Amino acid sequence: MTWTREQEWAISAKNCDLLVSAAAGSGKTAVLVERIISLITDENHPVDVDRLLVVTFTKAAASEMSQRIGQAIAEKLKADPSNVHLQNQMTLLSRADIKTIHAFCLQVIKENYYLLDIDASVRTADQTEMKLLQKEVLEELFETYYECTENTEFYQLVEQFGSGTNDMGLKDLVLKIYSFIQGSYNPAKWLEEMVSSYAVKSVGDMDNTSWMPIIKEAIFSDIKQGSFLLQEALRLTQYNVGFEGYQKTLEKELDMLSAFPKEETVTFEELYQEFGRIQFGRLSAYRGEDTETAEAIKELRNQAKKIITSIKEKYLFFRPEQMAEHIQKTHDILLALVKIVIDFQENFQAAKKEKQILDFSDYEHLCLKILLEEGSTPYNMIPSAVALELQKKYEEVLIDEYQDSNMIQEMILAAVSRKNSGNNNRFMVGDVKQSIYRFRLAMPEIFLEKYHLFSDFATKENSKEKRIILGKNFRSRANVLKGINFLFRQIMTEELGELSYDADAALYPGLEFSPTDKLCGGANEILLMENADTPDSDIVLEEWNKKELEAIMIAKKIQQLMQEGFHVWDKERKIYRPLQYSDITILMRGIRSWSGIFEKIFQQEEIPFFMDSSLGYLHTTEVVTVLSLLQIIDNPRQDIPLLCVLHSPIYKFSSEELADIRMEGGSGNYWECLLQYHVK
């Protein structure tokens, strides 16, 4: 295989912590496998595969990684069958630490359970058992709170978050908060720190909170947007004469917004006072003939006015002293809520200990307890004796999907790496643009911090922390990548996604296609359904709902591609070949609500298809049809299996035909109706 320069760097770099920012389709897994192979086949210092820790995001990814490493070793053995070291690697592969973070944590716990206050026979409970135990513990906890009639804060919470005569709203909230904080290395401390930011005793205290910069950023973002709209309106006044009155008003309003204090230094009280002085005047009447431009100017100004005036409604609805008072009351309520969550956590842990069971979040917390000395923090980690032994064992720690790590996972993997001794040996690969698990306390900022701090590998700096960007995409044509880059340059910004879609983040074509005169590639298209007369179309709009129309449009597009002789590049044969149905993929947000519609339309249009649903093998259309066929062979007087087979591609009866058979056959079972229909 031919590697790009950046891929070669990612495969061969040594003696450093290496962050690889791997864009979609950049060959990330292939690079990771090749790096592992290069480590175990190094001529000077070969590493046994069981002295590597490879952490993947899913069990399936771990299994695939092991399989690909095994295949790569087997290929090496073909070229050198007598290589004893490679033969040993095939043997060691079965016990190599290629696993998910939870599997690794469980391994550490089982090997060192005597360091914890748990029994060696501890087991992992399933989700249903855990939910039942949570419910039981929470019920008992709430009973103790209800028995204490002096606990006014608790009753306030029930009233505020409950609904009517029950407290389910509060119970659900407690469970959600508990689940959310498990990604923190110290859940109780994290909660208390979050609540402390609401402890304000004066107006001035609000300016020192962690949330005030967020409010100010939102306010000034609205001011910026409003100013932009006013500037656009002002620009339009220059298109024609007679807009002098508009121009004067717009300039005055722009001056008013530009006179605001700086975001970095302004206090909340100053913001409140400044917005009290904001006033939008009336536009003078326009007497000219360019009414279209006049309307455009007024529309832009109205949008700006709406944005600016809504700031007070969204953020400055109380006087500063009232705001401080309300925030302090919120702090008192949150303190009571946090106490319930922490009490629940302690009681739940005790209940799990009594039953000798663990859940996945326990894996991480107990593992961290084994690996770090008490008092460790993310920025001051003190490895335990167990961690130091694991550091000796693992020559390198390789982490896949690094963008979805949370803080506790980061601490665990840092604890077993050698950074504390100056022998950096972590390989971290991921793409922060694909981070989607923040709702589980994933922290893409861990990736971003290293991305900005690590030195660029290309500079050849003598650094133990380096960054490589794999930006070439080996899946798609240039026209597809061009469309993707255009879209994400508009929507992915530092403010919105914590990363600017700049030249480093963009996708670049890595595949080279041979020139051809055949129909292939093409422009990115958007197909729109519009309510318009289409006399040249064979689609009668009134007969279909929106989802069916969408499926029809897709079916027509597929047929068009097949009929026009569209060609695709066959990467195995290295040639262009005619398009096949199996080359086409339809992506959608969810399959469940669409599956029946696409099945119906595609069968009508005689388009073969396969739908990857989450229902499992026995629930796929093909298997259900065959099982139904077996059922009616045994007993044809079963309506549902019989209709399933008749409606399937085997017999291709339409819904209308099946309805006609029933209407003409009377009230008997469908088999009898079918026999009568056949006789007629």
Q: Which CATH number fits domain 123-183+325-355: 3.30.70.270, 3.40.720.10, 1.10.274.50, 1.10.10.10?
A: 1.10.274.50
Query: What does residue 430 show for φ and ψ, rounded to 5 degrees?
Result: 180, -175
pTM for the whole structure: 0.76
Q: Is residue 365 classed as helix, strand or coil in its secondary structure?
A: helix
Cβ–Cβ under 8 Å, residues 226 and 304: yes
Sign of CA dihedral 451, 454, 456, 457: negative
Where in the chain is CATH 1.10.274.50? 123-183+325-355
For 121-160, what is each residue's pLDDT tens digit? 888 998 889 999 999 999 999 999 999 878 788 988 998 8
Taking residue 441's Cβ as centre, other Cβ atoms within 10 Å add up to 18
Cβ–Cβ under 8 Å, residues 412 and 367: yes
For 421-459, what is each residue's pLDDT tens digit? 999 999 999 999 998 888 777 899 999 999 999 999 988
- Is residue 170 classed exposed, middle or buried when 0-12, 13-18 and 19+ CB atoms within 10 A define those classes? buried
For the chain, the first-to-last Cα distance in angstroms comes to 67
- Residue 468 identity: I
For 28-84, what is each residue's pLDDT tens digit? 999 999 999 999 999 899 999 999 999 999 999 999 999 999 999 999 999 999 999
Q: Which is the CATH superfamily of the domain at 5-118+359-470?
A: P-loop containing nucleotide triphosphate hydrolases (3.40.50.300)
Q: Looking at residues 100-127, what average pLDDT do you find?
A: 91
Q: Looking at residues 202-210, what average pLDDT do you find?
A: 90
pLDDT band at 614 (very low <50, low <70, confident <90, very high): low
- For residue 187, give both structure tokens: 């859940």
Where in the chain is CATH 1.10.486.10? 617-679
Topology at the third CATH level for domain 617-679: PCRA; domain 4 (1.10.486)
Whether the per-residue pLDDT at 624 is higher than 60: the answer is: yes
Q: Is residue 537 classed as helix, strand or coil in its secondary structure?
A: coil
pLDDT band at 162 (very low <50, low <70, confident <90, very high): confident
Q: Rounded to 10 degrees, what is the CA torsion of 152, 158, 159, 160?
A: 110
Query: What does residue 24 show for φ and ψ, rounded to 5 degrees?
Result: -55, 130
For 561-612, what is each residue's pLDDT tens digit? 999 889 988 888 888 899 999 999 988 877 777 777 888 898 888 899 887 6
Where in the chain is CATH 3.40.50.300? 5-118+359-470
Q: What percent of the chain has pLDDT over 90?
A: 59
CA distances for 365 relative to 360, 412, 574, angstroms: 9, 9, 51
